[in-house]
Amino acid sequence: MNALDETLLSVTDLTIAVAGTEVVHGVSFTVRPGEVVALVGESGAGKSMTAMAIPNLLPAGSERGGSIRFGGTELLELSESGMRRYRGGEIACVYQEPMTALNPLHTVGDFLTESIDAHGEGQGRRREPQELLDLVGLGSFDDLLQRYPHQISGGQRQRVMAAGAVAWDPKLLIADEPTTALDVTTQRNLLAMFRNLVKREQMAMIFVTHDMGVVADIADSVVVMRNGRVVEAGDVFSIFASPQHEYTRSLLSAARALHGSEPDAEAVPAQAPPVVVPPPAVAPAPAVAPAVALEVRDVVVEYRSTGRRRRSSGRKAAVQGASLSVARGQTLGIVGESGSGKSTIARAILGLAPVTGGSVSLAGTEMVGLRGRRRRQAMARLGVVFQDPTSSLDPSLPLWRIVTEPLWRSGRVRDARSLRARAGELLGDVGLDPTWIDRRRHELSGGQRQRVAIARAVSHEPDVLIADEPTSALDVTVQVTVLELLSRLQRTHNFACIFISHDLYVVSTISDRVVVMKDGRIVEDGSTDEVIHDPENEYTRTLLAAIPVPDPVVQRARRSALDEETDHTAGGHER
């Protein structure tokens, strides 16, 4: 019998209650050996709770009901000591943020050795740390076992986590949003690693994600969840070609809108919410070109670098001779991998990074070297939206204090009554209930928090808005909503916008021009249409090829062609 004809995991009528409130309702699905099952849905859909219920890693006070049968054993009937035989051994997990899962005081070698020793009673032969690094594609790094988590990249940390997870040949690997917020080339390499692990080790995999492009790339079967329930399930090709549920169709429509492909008209119901980001309004050509709001010329940003033994080893340039400009009413997209320098440019503009060369001009005012009152006045003309709205919003303050902070700090408005009134107006502008002004951060969803961050950024009517990866950690439908919100606010307030992202397709939905960065340098600069459809630089073409397309047929053809090209370039050696 073929392994894919067998059932390794059977989840039947699973319910999960937290503090007495049921949050997952009657979920059922199966997983077979060698199969990748994607759990898909927006934040709060219950997908991570469902996945973590299998190894019983739910929050304290949670209760499970229904049935979870693994290889013929009913997991819900096991005691905690009985569950330890399976958890980490036959059922392993890889989490979204490896930095929080790796001990900062332990080396990579320490972590892998601990992973091996912790499950010595597991099934399968014992592997050594170096062999595990080879398995996840990190074997060529001679000193990696001696490095600490902060000394390796995000993609390498995620691979190390995967290496520890497969130390004892698990039969089931659960990966909970492992590629969220990674740049597209790192994501592509990580997905390839997971595919190779499943194929070579013949393990099953549950892959939790909200990215439909990732689903198209890696999944065999899809379970779509919403509000704690399964709304649709099936093989990946059927789900993408002919989605039956309205919610599935809206997810696919939003994903295709972000990737510049028109959804099938028959696949989007008339009552589904609009998800296609409208192009910027085209106004009659002005007699005079719009004034330049921000100009960065030949900027160099350098940090003092330190050797492995804490000896000074000179300075390292994070940005090298970068030049760009953006006019009022226009959006400039900055794209690149992690470490390319794109966020460093934003920090240089905001005065948060050491500019050692070049100039930053804000509406004609030179910002480099500006100090005191003049600098504070100039900085008041900038607004900023950060990647993580949770960490950028003070949990102790009500929303009216948060969104009006720039007004208060600039001295333009100081009395509480006026600030509260203005806060209500701002919340209404970003599509939130104006009566929420006394709510706090924990009472909002991720998308609502980002709307609050945007309201704060535009509260003082800045000349320039800097948005640094504002959608990378958000669900696909929320991404579309936030992008449309930024476009609408820009048309209303006419500010210049610098939009930073690692995804060229996301940038293309909102930007007039695009700058591509690599290793601290600008390697391509042109109109959005030119960069997306006719890129001149090979690196730009690599970035575009790395973005997974939300269509399993197209994506797998692209992946196959890319793999063949990689094998040919490598001389035919196995990757």
Q: Quick: pLDDT tens for 27-71.
A: 999 999 999 999 999 888 999 999 999 999 998 889 999 999 999
- By mean pLDDT, which of 95-104, 171-180, 393-402 is the weakest? 95-104
Residue 149 pLDDT grade (very low, low, confident, very high; cuts 50, 70, 90): confident
Report the share of the chain in percent with pLDDT over 90: 53
* Residue 269 pLDDT > 60: no
* Residue 283 pLDDT > 80: no
Check residue 565 and give its pLDDT. 61
Alpha-carbon span 305 to 311, nearest angstrom? 9
* Residue 426 pLDDT > 60: yes
> Are the C-beta atoms of residues 228 and 22 closer than 8 Å to each other?
yes
- By mean pLDDT, which of 101-115, 203-217, 278-292 is the weakest? 278-292
* Residue 261 pLDDT > 90: no
Distance of CA 230 to the CA centre of its chain: 24
Burial of 155 (0-12, 13-18, 19+ CB in 10 A): buried
Distances (CA, A) of 367 to 351, 381, 467: 8, 12, 19
CA dihedral 489, 494, 496, 498 (to 10 degrees): 10
Which residues on adjacent β-strands are paired with residue 175?
Answer: 94, 207
User: Mean per-residue pLDDT for 392-411?
Assistant: 90
Check residue 126 and give its pLDDT. 65
Which residues on adjacent β-strands are paired with residue 521?
Answer: 518
CB atoms inside a 10 Å sphere around CB 372 = 7
- State the alpha helices, DSSP H only, in 393-445: 399-403, 405-410, 416-429
Check residue 339 and give its pLDDT. 82
Check residue 293 and give its pLDDT. 94
Contacts 24+ apart (CB under 8 A), 177-180: 177/48, 177/96, 177/208, 177/209, 177/210, 178/94, 178/95, 178/96, 178/207, 179/209, 179/211, 179/214, 180/96, 180/209, 180/210, 180/211, 180/472, 180/473
- State the alpha helices, DSSP H only, in 325-384: 342-349, 372-379
> Are the C-beta atoms of residues 503 and 472 closer than 8 Å to each other?
yes
Check residue 572 and give its pLDDT. 43
In 270-398, beta strands by DSSP E:
292-306, 312-327, 331-335, 355-362, 365-366, 382-385
- Longest Cα pair distance anywhere in the chain, in angstroms? 77
> Are the C-beta atoms of residues 431 and 482 closer than 8 Å to each other?
no
Check residue 271 and give its pLDDT. 35
pLDDT single digits (tens) 100-124: 778 889 999 999 998 888 765 545 5
pLDDT higher at 428 or 287: 428
Closest by alpha carbon to 441, among 451, 430, 429? 451
Residue with tokens 């004034």: 291
Which tokens in the block code for residue 301?
Answer: 């940003």
User: Mean per-residue pLDDT for 509-522?
Assistant: 95
pLDDT higher at 280 or 471: 471
Which residues on adjacent β-strands are paired with residue 306?
Answer: 312
Considering the chain, what is the average pLDDT of its residues? 86
Check residue 159 and give its pLDDT. 84
pLDDT single digits (tens) 313-368: 567 788 999 999 999 999 999 999 888 899 999 999 998 889 999 999 998 899 99
Alpha-carbon span 36 to 178, nearest angstrom? 14
Residue 281 pLDDT grade (very low, low, confident, very high; cuts 50, 70, 90): very low
Beta-strand relationship, 62-70 and 73-74: antiparallel
* Residue 263 pLDDT > 60: no
- By mean pLDDT, which of 30-39, 149-158, 208-217, 499-508 is the weakest? 149-158
Residue 186 pLDDT grade (very low, low, confident, very high; cuts 50, 70, 90): confident
> Are the C-beta atoms of residues 132 and 110 closer than 8 Å to each other?
no
> Are the C-beta atoms of residues 24 and 50 closer than 8 Å to each other?
yes
- By mean pLDDT, which of 10-24, 161-175, 237-251 is the weakest? 161-175
